[in-house]
């Protein structure tokens, strides 16, 4: 659990520093409802990856609709299949506030980094 916490902490530090990558400039970018704590609850470091010491960053291209629902995910940068799946599952379970453009909610494409790191 402690290892997972530090991995997730790093994930959100990455998120805070690099933010979401976005092709179109938005007035406000999507954010997890309930803050980062809500997403932390959804990320599970795969036991199979822990057992063999797999670490790294998974980049997940994510489409968030006008209602804040994740409608599509795609791996942009992979660590291994289990970490990739864990990252996508966590993002899919998370509700977001939608992106805002010209005071209207819009469908947004963002890239979310998920870091898996053992400590």
Q: pTM of this prediction? A: 0.79
- Please count the structural domains in the chain: 1
**What is the extent of the structural domain holding 87?**
2-116
Q: Is the pLDDT of residue 95 over 90?
A: yes
> Which range, of 40-49, 65-74, 81-90, averages the lowest pLDDT?
40-49
**CA dihedral of residues 14, 58, 84, 78 (deg, nearest 10):** -170
Pick the closest to residue 12 from 39, 42, 34 (CA basis): 39
Pairing of β 56-64 and β 70-77: antiparallel
Q: Quick one: pLDDT at residue 4?
A: 47
Q: Quick one: pLDDT at residue 64?
A: 96
Give the CATH number for residue 101. 3.30.2420.10
């Amino acid at each position: 659990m402690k290892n997972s916490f530090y991995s997730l902490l790093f994930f959100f530090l990455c998120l805070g520093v690099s933010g979401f990558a976005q092709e179109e400039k938005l007035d406000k970018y999507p954010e997890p409802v309930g803050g980062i704590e809500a997403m932390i609850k959804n990320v599970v470091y795969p036991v199979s990856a822990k057992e063999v010491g797999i670490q790294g960053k998974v980049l997940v291209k994510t489409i968030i609709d006008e209602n804040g629902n994740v409608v599509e995910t795609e791996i942009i940068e992979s660590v291994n299949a289990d970490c990739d799946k864990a990252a996508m599952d966590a993002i899919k379970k998370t509700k977001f506030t939608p992106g805002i453009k010209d005071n209207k909610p819009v469908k947004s494409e963002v890239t979310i980094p998920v870091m898996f790191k053992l400590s």
